[in-house]
Amino acid sequence: MVSSFCWGCLTRLRPTGQALLPPPIAAPRAASFHTSTVRYSNVLKKKNTIAGPPKYREAKSARMKKKKPTDRPRPPPVGERKAQRKRLVLSNPNALEVEDIQELSAETMVDSRLRGSVLALPLPMLTQLRAAEAFKPKQGWSIFRRPGTVVRRETLELARLFDKISGEGEDKGKSVKKIITGVRGSGKTVHLLQAMAMAFTKKWIVLTVPEPQDLVTASTGYAPLSDETPHLYVQNAATAALLSRTVSANEEVLKSLHVSQEHPALKSATKPGMTLEQLARLGIQDPAIGWNVFQALWSELTATSAAPGFEKNFKPRPPMLVTADGLAHWMKNSEYRNAEFEPIHAHDLVFVRHFLSLMKPGSEKPTFPNGGLLLYATSASNNPTVYSFEVALEQVEARHAGVKPSAPEFPQADPYSRADQRVLDAFNSPKPTVPKEGMLELQTLGGLTRGEARGYLEYFARSGLLQANINDEWVGEKWSLAGGGVIGELEKLGRRMRVSS
């Protein structure tokens, strides 16, 4: 029997939708941006293993592989790293030798015609400057054939000051005190070196404190000065180092001077006819009496006449030069502690107290009765921020300019800043009442002039370090790039090799 449905009816039937079809096998979904084959990965099932009894003499704990022993290098000996850090190189044999260069002498250091030129330091003087630790390792001494220094306006003023104090005029035996400040790289440390070189030329006595920071960082031993003054502390090792520098740098002058005063604290150690060089070596050999020896040496160097019974070998004492580089480290608490574990102020160290007392004018006689120069410099690269010290320097400048402390324009510390009054009192030096005693001054070093900068850069060219056509336009460009002739920045520009086109 034929079906009632025809082919045409069958073709008009609608196809079955996806929803009527049986669901496919469920597959894990993955993000459309994922690149891993999640659909084809086999999921690892955790095996259910039953731990059996351990085998005979078999440990169940985790086994750790032993590391192979490594050969560690042997550490350097004690003091070698510090010696390497402070190593000085004052000559470069690869640099060209500058022809017709003049040396620093009593005549050339006051010659204004040499302004802007470089004067070589005499070779015999290098030993004295090394002993006084006038050179710094990071200075550019190792790029020239021999060490030299540029003559600038401040150098000529300093040389004339040495001539006046050592001369026969009205300024003979005058005491001058200055604090040198300036931006980083302005030549403050080299200015102190120039002063030492001039002092050695004039046969002065030079006492230096090259690193004031070492006295307050608790890196040297200390002890109470005496039972009567337990709040003051002495540093025997640092005092012995000061005496060693003084003897090494001024040995020739100290050997020509003899003891002329009585010293009760060293009565058993001193002998009649002893030279000052032998007196200073007592404190080097026995640091326990170093501070007493230094006090005796200071009284001998500032003596104007001999005590009764010591007139035989007495000679007039030469002027003195006292320098310290990095004064701000003495204007705060040190790293030392007292018996109650409280910080000790730097002014309670007798070494620091003595050198700070030199800034004040003398009461009955000048600080340097035989004449002298006091030069303390600040540091811009290693300088702690001490608000009291900044205010004290402003007061020194205002006081030297003639501004009275009672005037409204006189700088005062902020009452809410908790300024250290001890620091302000250390620089509170009134007008001296003793003749030939100068006031404490503040001298700020700036950059070189264009003429001085040209002479300085020409020295680089003559040494073979600079290959350029040095003219006024080129010097003006480098002078501007150096922040207005800052000598430290000029040195960086001059030591780069330039090929002239």
The tokens for 32 are 């459309």
Kind of pairing, strands 333-337 and 233-234? Answer: unpaired
Distance in angstroms (rounded) separating the CA atoms of residues 132 and 488? 22
Considering only CA atoms, give the Rg of the chain.
38
Q: Which residues pair with 120 in a beta bridge?
A: 103, 148
Distance in angstroms (rounded) separating the CA atoms of residues 18 and 16? 7
Distance in angstroms (rounded) separating the CA atoms of residues 366 and 362? 5
pLDDT at 221: 93
174: Cβ contacts below 8 Å, ≥ 6 apart: 164, 165, 371, 436, 437, 438
Distance in angstroms (rounded) separating the CA atoms of residues 117 and 480? 20
For the chain, give the longest Cα–Cα distance: 165
The tokens for 493 are 């520009």
The tokens for 417 are 């800043």
Distance in angstroms (rounded) separating the CA atoms of residues 374 and 367? 10
> Which residue, 217, 240, 208, 241, is CA-closest to 136?
208
236: Cβ contacts below 8 Å, ≥ 6 apart: 221, 223, 287, 288, 290, 291
pLDDT at 500: 47
Strand ranges inside 346-448, DSSP E:
372-377, 437-445
How does DSSP classify residue 57?
Answer: T
Q: Is 477 helix (H, G, I), strand (E, B) or coil?
A: helix
Look-up of token digits 């025997």 = 236
> At 177, which helix (H) or strand (E)?
strand 175-182
**Residue 368 exposed, middle or buried by CB count within 10 Å (0-12, 13-18, 19+):** buried
- In this structure, are residues 328 and 386 in contact, taking their beta carbons and an 8 Å threshold? yes
pLDDT at 499: 47
> Which residue, 130, 186, 149, is CA-closest to 381?
186
pLDDT at 311: 84
> Which residue, 344, 324, 327, is CA-closest to 335?
344
- In this structure, are residues 177 and 374 in contact, taking their beta carbons and an 8 Å threshold? yes
Q: Count CB neighbours of 50 within 10 A.
A: 4
pLDDT at 68: 79
CA 364 to chain centre: 35
User: Global pTM?
Assistant: 0.82
**pLDDT mean values, one per 10 residues, the chain (501 residues):** 54 53 52 54 60 60 72 85 87 89 93 94 94 91 92 95 90 92 93 96 95 93 92 95 96 94 86 90 94 95 90 91 94 94 95 94 85 94 91 93 91 91 90 86 93 93 87 93 92 70 41
pLDDT at 271: 83
Distance in angstroms (rounded) separating the CA atoms of residues 191 and 170? 26
pLDDT at 444: 94
Q: Is 117 helix (H, G, I), strand (E, B) or coil?
A: coil
Over 87-135, what HEC string results?
A: CCCCCCCCCCCCCCCCECCCCHHHCHHHCCCEEECCHHHHHHHHHCCCC
